[in-house]
Homo-oligomer: A and B are copies of this chain.
Amino acid sequence: MTKAEVVNEISERTGIEKAVVQESIESFFKVVKGSIVKGENVYFRGFGSFVVQRRAQKIARNISKNTQITIPAHNIPKFKPAKTFVEKVKNG
């Protein structure tokens, strides 16, 4: 599914105008991204959590060229699905 299809389905299910659903969902993505960029996790009970994970500095080697580069410590966004979500998918 794409965003347009998801917006259509939400609009059909709820009766809320497509344009309003679309604006809500786009704002939702911005708010979640903004929070993660600030290092603040976002928790949605029954769906899952968007969290920031820290990756330590590491040294990567290119064996064939015999060189090495240092990858500095950095953050990555992660999603941890809720238990109920995991169970539904497992048994689905």
Contact = CB atoms under 8 A, between A and B. Distances in A.
A92 to B, nearest CB: 4
Interface in A4-62: 6, 9-10, 13-14, 16, 20-21, 23-25, 27-33, 35-48, 50, 52
Contact of A14 (B24, B29, B39): B24
Contacts of A69: none
A43 B89 contact: no
Given A20-B20, A20-B24, A27-B10, A92 B38 contact: yes
Interface of A: 1-3, 6, 9-10, 13-14, 16, 20-21, 23-25, 27-33, 35-48, 50, 52, 74-79, 81, 85-86, 88-92
